[in-house]
Chains A and B, each alone.
Chain A
Amino acid sequence: MPTDTRLAGPALHLADSLWQDAAIKFGNTAGAVLGFLGVLLAVFFAAGRATGRFSRPLAVVLMLGPAALLLVVGLVVPLLRTVYLSFYDADAAKFVGGKNYGWAATSSQIHDVLLNTLLWLVVAPVAATGLGLLLAMLVDRMRGQAIYKSLIFMPMAVSLVAASLIFKLLYESRGSGQNQVGLLSQLAVAVGWDDPPNWILSQPLNNFLLMSAMVWVQTGFAMVVLSAAIKAIPDEITEAARLDGATGVRLFLHVTVPMIRTTLVVVLTTIMIITLKAFDIVRTMTGGNFGTQVLANEMYSQSFEQYNTGRGSALAVILFLAVAPLVVYNIALLRKERATR
């Protein structure tokens, strides 16, 4: 392991202890993985010797059991428990009926949150899917398309936290007279806007600036999936349309788009689901302040900053009710698409 020799004295000591700490953590992690696999192998070896009528149920219990147990403990029970807690007060001590839902329905603060969430739900997925479709059509016939695709797709690999920091730097603002360090402010100055606003604080513009980070991440996903769908359209169909005189944009609108409609909707709903559940961008860029709060982040704040489990649970249930139909629709479409392929 590399130790930095430029450091001297206490700093060297600190660096050493950091590497020691890392070694211990990696040791524990490796131990956990190897222990897990070792236990499995041992169980497999022992259970594999069983014969007769017990061998089958034994296989079912040992191979399905761990996953089933984790699903019950991690998903099924918490699901019921969260619904239950949503009818209790902040400390989960007293039954309060629908009070938490009443709060969510009437509080003006939550109204703004829901409105913002709706805005996110419409704008970010439509923008990302539309731009992705355009790029999928355009990039396919370019030389060196792999490079363009990779670069546009790359944000998909980055965490939303990192994406938020990248955009926060882009929107960084300084008072007039100072050198701007954010590119957006600098561009504003360059076109003659001497005193550009502090972007992150400007409502309601800041909501759209935050959404840009989501669009930046998701456009590549839309492009890659739609590009594959376009390539899968049978040649006979486009040829027939062309013989009927369809060309250019009309061919695209009346043949290509209908042929990939299912994929288009799958992409759109997938990005909608991701958008609804994501709280990372808002949390990292504004912390939900300056009129940018969304449902997922409000749920986190109520639960783990205000420690109001009742309200937090009610917001989680609302989020669940919003996401569930989208997921069901998305999965149904995905299956239909598989079946027709």
Chain B
Amino acid sequence: MSAEPTLDKAAAPGTGKAARSDLPPAKAIRRAFSSPLASALVIAVTVLWTIPTVGLLVTSLRPKQDVVSSGWWEAFVHPDLGLENYHSVLFDNSFGTSGGLMPYLVNSVAIAIPATVFPLVLAAMAAYVLAWVRFKGSDTLFFVVFALQVVPLQMSLIPLLRLFSTGAHLGSVTLVPALGLKDSYLPVWLTHTMFALPLAIFLLHNFIAQLPRDLMEAAVVDGASHFKIFRSIVLPLSAPALASFAIFQFLWVWNDLLVALTFAGGNPTVAPITSRLAQLSGSDSSHWELLSAGAFLSMIIPLAVFFALQRYFVRGLLAGSVKG
């Protein structure tokens, strides 16, 4: 990302032009924006951007009576911090739910991992076939998948909910029976998988199509099947693209509310922490010591993933993997 060191040498003497200034052009632009004022502005925005999160974190660490009686900034004057709120929000019967938020946090993990693995594997296979196993109509098919990115999630919710709860019928013929999936993660996994596929296939296709042709042809000459090529050549070589997409999908699923609320509601056996927090925000909005702890708990895993793998995350962003 940083190109500065080489830029310094770019203004080599002798080109004549560069002699008019000892600064390389990119630096000149930046210099125009550089002043104590500019730095102060960036620092101010950064502080402004960070304060709300700090407020939440500090609130979550203060005892209940302090949270009720004074603002979180008072904690810097009279520090009295502890993890009690986290304990009670996770395990106690506070919030009017038995067992607190712990089951929901578990559900978030149990939803996010399969909902990342399933589309990743299915999309990689599909992308390989569309890129390397040409057949009649494969280009059209790729275009259709590509075009499906246009469909917003909202267009599928009602029909999918009906499919999962009552099955599918054509007249009096039952195509799919009612599956009784109320207490199962399956509807949530499947919905996330379905909606991840268009973008995943598109992005992985872009990457897989650019793998070296010689390598593929050599493998075919050696008599390797498509399955073997996929497993031993395509998957290992696509690791960077797979990693980028996996991080995106994981954060997307973990942070999702729409699918969670529609297919799991507030059911403690399957609902993730986002849907529970959204409900509590309406019904228990006065319990800030618990809400803040709950919100922060929901942020720990995505923040850890984000800070540990930021490089891949940014790479994925620049490749256009933004879902809305």
Contacts and interface: CB of A to CB of B under 8 A. Distances in A.
Interface of A: 4, 7, 11, 14-15, 17-18, 21-22, 25-26, 28-29, 32-33, 36-37, 40, 44-45, 47-50, 55-57, 59-60, 62-64, 66-68, 70-71, 73-79, 81-82, 85, 131, 134-135, 137-142, 148, 150-162, 164-170, 172, 179-183, 186, 216, 219-221, 224-225, 228, 231, 233, 235, 238-239, 241-243, 247-249, 251-252, 255-256, 270, 273-280, 283-285, 287, 296, 299-300, 303-304, 309, 312-313, 315-317, 319-320, 323-324, 327-328, 331, 334
A199 to B, nearest CB: 14
B73 A186 contact: yes
A74 B113 contact: no
A300 B32 contact: no
Contact of A169 (B7, B31, B55): B55
Interface string B62-73: 000001111111
Interface residues of B, number: 135
Given A33-B113, A309-B158, A320-B154, A157 B129 contact: no
A141 B277 CA distance: 40
Given A141-B33, A181-B288, A238 B25 contact: yes
Interface of B: 1, 3, 7, 10, 17-18, 20-21, 24-34, 38-39, 41-43, 45-46, 49-53, 55-56, 59, 67-73, 87, 91-93, 98-99, 102-103, 106-107, 109-110, 113-114, 117-118, 121-123, 125-126, 128-130, 133, 135, 141, 145-146, 148-161, 163, 185, 189-191, 193-195, 197-198, 201, 225-228, 230-231, 251, 254-258, 261-262, 274, 277-278, 281-282, 285, 288, 291-292, 295-296, 298-299, 302-303, 305-307, 310, 313-314, 317-318, 320, 322, 324
A77 B198 contact: no
A139 B1 CA distance: 13
Contacts, number: 384
A159 B151 contact: no
Contact of A183 (B25, B55, B298): B55
B56 A169 contact: yes
Contact of A79 (B156, B231, B274): B156
Contacts of B71: 179-183, 186
Given A14-B91, A141-B27, A256-B29, A334 B10 contact: no
10 contacts: A18-B91, A26-B109, A60-B135, A79-B156, A141-B31, A153-B310, A168-B285, A239-B25, A270-B322, A296-B154
A287 B109 CA distance: 26
A235 B4 CA distance: 12
Contact of B156 (A82, A251, A279): A82
Contacts of B38: 138, 142
A334 B319 CA distance: 9
Contacts of A331: 146, 149
A284 B324 contact: no
Nearest to B41: A138
Nearest to A15: B91
A169 B155 contact: no
A299 B113 contact: no
Nearest to A285: B281
A270 B103 contact: no
Contacts of A64: 125-126, 129-130, 141
B106 A169 contact: no
A159 B33 contact: no
Nearest to A256: B29
B324 A273 contact: yes
Contact of A161 (B99, B189, B278, B306): B278
Nearest to B224: A48
A67 B99 contact: no
A239 B20 CA distance: 11
B133 A56 contact: yes
User: Per DSSP, are chain B's interface residues mostly helix, strand or loop, or mixed?
Assistant: helix
A33 B114 contact: yes
B278 A157 contact: no
A67 B288 contact: no
Given A183-B51, A221-B322, 19 more contacts: A29-B114, A37-B117, A55-B226, A78-B159, A79-B156, A152-B45, A158-B255, A159-B254, A162-B296, A167-B52, A235-B7, A238-B26, A238-B29, A242-B21, A251-B32, A270-B322, A273-B324, A276-B324, A300-B258
Contact of B295 (A71, A151, A162, A300): A162
A183 B102 CA distance: 29
Contacts of A270: 322, 324
A60 B128 CA distance: 10
B302 to A, nearest CB: 5
A151 B156 contact: no
B112 to A, nearest CB: 9
A81 B129 CA distance: 29
A313 B156 CA distance: 9
B159 A67 contact: no
